[in-house]
A = this chain, B = another copy of it.
Amino acid sequence: MNIENAQVQMRKGILEFCILHIISRGEVYASDMLDELTSARIMVVEGTLYPLLTRLKNSGWLDYKWVESSSGPPRKYYVLTDEGKVFLDAMQATWFELADSVQTVIRRSEEFSKNGSPNP
Chain A residues bordering chain B, tally (CB within 8 A): 45
A8 located at the interface, meaning its Cβ lies under 8 Å from any Cβ of chain B in the complex: yes
* Nearest CB of chain B from residue A97's CB, rounded to whole Å: 7
Contact (Cβ within 8 A) A13 B21: no
Chain A residues within 8 Å of B, Cβ to Cβ: 1, 3, 6-14, 16-18, 21-22, 24-26, 36-37, 40-42, 55, 59, 87, 90-92, 94-95, 97-99, 101-102, 104-106, 108-109, 112-113, 117
Can you give 11 A-B contacts (C-beta < 8 A)?
A3-B87, A10-B12, A10-B13, A18-B101, A18-B102, A25-B108, A36-B105, A36-B108, A41-B101, A41-B104, A42-B105
